[in-house]
Amino acid sequence: MRRYRFLVDPAPSDENPDQLPVGFTKHFDPNTGDNVLDVTCAACHNGQLRYTKDGKTYAIRVDGGQAMHAISDTTRGSFAPMLVASLIYTAINPFKFDEFAKGVLDERYPEGKSALRSKLWASIKHFVSSPQNNPLKHLYPVVEGYGRTDALGRIGNTVFGDHLIAGNYQVGAAPVSYPYVWNIWKFDWVQYNGSVAQPLARNIGEALGVGARIPLINDTGGPLPAEERFRSSVRIADLQRIEHTLQTLQPPKWPEDLFGKINQSLASQGGQLFAQHCQGCHGPHPANAARQKSLAPLKPFPGLEWQIEVIPVSHIGTDDSTAKGFLERRYDLSATGVTDKDMQSALRPLLYRQLIREVRFRLSDLIDTRQTQGLDNGSLPELLDQYPAESPEVVLPQALFASIEEEISRLVSPLPAIPDARTTPPEPYNCNLSCQTVALLWNMKHGQENAEIQMETLDISTLTEGEALNVVGIMIKNKFYQDNNVAFEEQQCLEGFGTLDLPQQILGYKPRPLEGVWATPPFLHNGSVPSIYQLLSPPETRSDMFLLGQRDYDPANLGYQLITKDSEGVSKEGFWMDTSIDGNRNTGHAFAADPDLWAQHLKAPKDHPLPTGVIGPLLTHDERMAILEYLKIHKDEPATPAGYKPPECQLMGASL
C-alpha cells in the first residue's frame, strides 16, 4: 500500500491490528452479515512531507492535509487496476484463495469458503463491469495521477450513473487536488467552487462518492415505492463524530528545527505585502453577529462563521474545467419516481426558512447602521424583538413583514428603487445603509415569489450536479429523520449549527484562508503549480510539466522539490503533470501587472481594469520571498476560543 502512496503504520497495533492505511476502517454490516471496508475522510485529507537533513530523512505528517495516493486513477499500473488484478488472481489460485479465506472467515473456515468465493467473484464483476472503471468509456480523459481526483465528476457518476441510469454518466475532465480541511467548519461555503453550505450535506455527498449504498430504483429499473426511497447506508452518527473531530483539527506549525528558523524581519515585511495583496480575497472575513445567526444560528461564539467569496473565473483566470463542468453537467432523476412537485415540497421549507432568517439579519443590520449614523430607528427595534423563534413548522410572518415595511416607509423618504422578483439585489461585503434598506425591502416584498420562481425553474429530468446532489441529500436526510423519529432540534444539530442545505452555483472558485498553506502543495485547485513561489510568479514562468508522486519538500519555495524531465539524480517514479492540457492548466492568479497599469487600476479600477487572470502587481523576487516567510507563521483570526467544544448532538437517545 505504501507503494501506492497510502500512509501505513510501521506495524500492526491494538488499535489497528490489520495495519490498514490511514483513513481506512471497517464495520459490521447487519444487512449483509459481513465486515465491510470503509474509506473515511482521513484517507484523502491527510498528507505527509519528506525532508532530509544531515543525512537523516524525516516524515512530517500533516493531519487534514492533502493525500498523495491515486485511489481513483484507472491507468495501467495504478492502485485500482492492480487491486482488481490481485482479486482475480486470488479467486483463481487455490492456494492463495485458501490463505485469503483463512484470514477472512476465521472460525467460519472452511465451511464458508464456497460462499466467500461467490462474494469475491461478485465484487470482481462489480469492479470490472462499472463504466467508471472501463478505460474504453473515456469518462475521465484527463489523467488524475497522484494526489488528485475528479471529485465532482466521480460523485455525480457514482450517485446518478451507478445507482440510477446509464444515461446519467458524464465525462469528467477536471481533476482537483484533495483540499486541506482545518477550519472548514467555519466556512459559509465549502468545495473549491463554493457550492455547498451545510456540513452534513457535504459529508453525505462524499460518503455517497466513496460507495455508500443508496437504492434509487428497483431491480427492474422502475421506481421504488415512495416509502422506501432514499433509505441509504450513510452512517449519519459516524459522520457527526467525524465532523466533531474535524472541529478540533489544528493547522500545522512550521517546524523550525527541521525546515529552518523564521526570519522575523522578513516575515514582518511579508505580512504587510500579504495585507495589501492577499488578505482582501483570502481573509478570513468573519461574519457579524446578525449574519452568523442567519447562517449558522447554533454557533456558540462570535467569529466562528467566516464568509467565503467565490471569485468568477473571468477574474481569477484559473483553469475553468472544474467550475464549468459542475454547472454544465445535467442529470435525470425522474427514474426514481420523484416528481417536480415532490422536489418543490422538499425545497420549499428550506427556501422559506432562509427567507425568514435573511429578513431578520437585514433588519438587525439596518438598525445597527442607522443607530451608528445617528438616525431614528422608530419602532424597528421593537419589531425585531417580536421576530418569531425558529420552529419545525415554517410559516412566513407576513403580518410582521408588513409592519416592518410600514415603519421603513415612515422613516425613509423617498424609498429606494427595489428590483423585481427575478432580480436579486446586490450583496457586497460592505453593504451600506442604502444597500441594507434595498435588501430588506426586496426580501419582504419579493422573497416568497423569488423562492417559488427558483423552484419552478427546476426540472427533475435535467438538474445540474449541484441541484441533483442537493435534492438527493435532502431526501436522504428526511428519510433518516422519519425512520428514526429525529426531532427538529436534533436535526439542526446534526446538520451543523442549524446551517441550511441550499446550494450555490457560480462559475468560479473560492479563495480560502491560508493558515498552514505552506504544508499543502501542489497549488491551485487542480494542483498545477508545484510551489507558492511559482504561484506568486507570472504564469508564463511557472513549470509547464513536473513530477507528482514524490513527497520531498522544498522549504525555500514552499512546495515540493521540483522534478522535471531534465532533472538528474532523482527518482522519476510518479505522474507527469502536463499543464498544457485543459483541466491541468496553470494560468491565472497572476501577480503580473506592470507598475503603470497597477497605479492606474488603484486610482480608477473601473476605468483601468486588469486583464483576466491578473490580480496584482508584478512582484520582485524579494517581495515573493517576504510573503513566503510570512506564510510560515500566518494565523487566521479570530482563532477558535479556548473554551470551545464541539456540540453534543443527540440521536436516538445517545450523545454523539
**In the chain, count of helices (H) and strands (E)?**
21, 18
Q: 532 - beta bridge partners? A: none
Is the pLDDT reported for residue 311 higher than 90? Answer: yes
SS (H, E, C) 405-447: HHHHHHHCCCCCCCCCCCCCCCCCCCCCHHHHHHHHHHHHHHH
640: left (phi over 0), alpha (psi -120 to 50) or beta: beta
Which grid coordinates are listed for 284?
Answer: 478570513
Give the separation between CA 113 and CA 481, rounded to whole angstroms. 39
pLDDT digit string, tens, across residues 328-374: 999 999 999 999 999 999 999 999 999 999 999 999 999 999 999 99
* CA-wise closest residue to 167 among 357, 396, 335: 335
Which residues neighbour 320 within 8 Å (Cβ) at sequence distance 6 or greater?
A: 313, 507
d(CA 319, CA 539): 12
Q: Looking at the predicted structure, is the pLDDT value of residue 31 above 80?
A: no
Tell which residue, 601, 588, 606, 534, has the closest CA to residue 314.
588
The mean pLDDT of 322-328, rounded to a whole number, is 97
DSSP 607: T
Whether residue 513 has pLDDT greater than 80:
yes
- Over the stretch 168-201, which tens digit does the pLDDT of each residue have? 999 999 999 999 999 999 999 999 999 999 999 9
The predicted-structure confidence for 354-366, as pLDDT tens digits, reads as follows 999 999 999 999 9
Q: H/E element holding 304?
A: none
What is the C-alpha separation between 292 and 434, in angstroms, rounded?
A: 21
Phi, psi of 274 (to 5 degrees): -60, -45
CA angle, 362 as apex, 357 and 364 as ends, to 5°? 95
DSSP-derived 3-state class of residue 302: coil
- Range from 119-133, 152-166, 293-307 carrying the lowest mean pLDDT: 119-133
For residues 418-428, average pLDDT: 91
β 56-63/46-53 pair status: antiparallel
Instruction: Give the whole-angstrom CA distance, residue 482 versus residue 251.
Output: 38
**Tens-place pLDDT, residues 594-613:** 999 999 999 999 999 999 99
Section 270-278 average pLDDT = 99
Please report which helix (H) or strand (E) contains residue 354, including its range. Answer: helix 340-372
Sequential DSSP letters for 176-241: EEPPP-TTGGGBSSBTTTT-B--HHHHHHHHHHHTT-----B-TTSPBPPGGGTT-----HHHHHH
- What is the three-class DSSP state of 78? coil
pLDDT at 27: 86
Helix (H, G, I), strand (E, B) or coil at 16: coil
Q: How far is CA 644 from the centre of its chain?
A: 23
Which residues are CB-neighbours of 642 under 8 A, at least 6 positions away?
none
CA distance 157 to 171: 9
**Alpha carbons 638 and 644: distance in angstroms, whole number:** 13
- pLDDT value at residue 656: 79
Lowest mean pLDDT among 129-133, 240-244, 284-288: 129-133
C-beta pairs of 447-450 under 8 Å, 24+ apart in sequence:
447/355, 447/358, 447/359, 448/352, 448/355, 448/396, 449/421, 450/421, 450/422, 450/424
Report the C-alpha gap between 205 and 212 in whole angstroms: 10
How much of the chain, in percent, has pLDDT values that exceed 70? 100
| pLDDT tens digits, 88-137 | 999 999 999 999 999 888 888 999 999 999 999 999 998 888 888 887 88
- Give the model's pLDDT for residue 137: 86
Residue type present at position 483: D
Contact 518, 532 (CB under 8 A): yes
pLDDT at position 35, please? Answer: 82
Residue 381 confidence (pLDDT): 98
User: With contact defined as beta carbons under 8 Å apart, do 616 and 277 qualify?
Assistant: yes
Q: Are 158 and 205 in contact (CB under 8 A)?
A: no
Per-position DSSP letters for 555-599, written without gaps between them: TTTTEEPP--TT--SS---SEEEETTSTTS-----EEEE-HHHHH
Q: Measured on CA atoms in the order 277, 281, 284, 286, is the torsion positive or negative? A: positive
Separation in Å, CA 451 to CA 167, 348, 349, 352, 503: 30, 8, 10, 7, 13
CB atoms within 10 A of CB 211: 13
**pTM across the whole model:** 0.94
The tally of CA atoms less than 13 A away on the side-chain side of residue 339 is 4
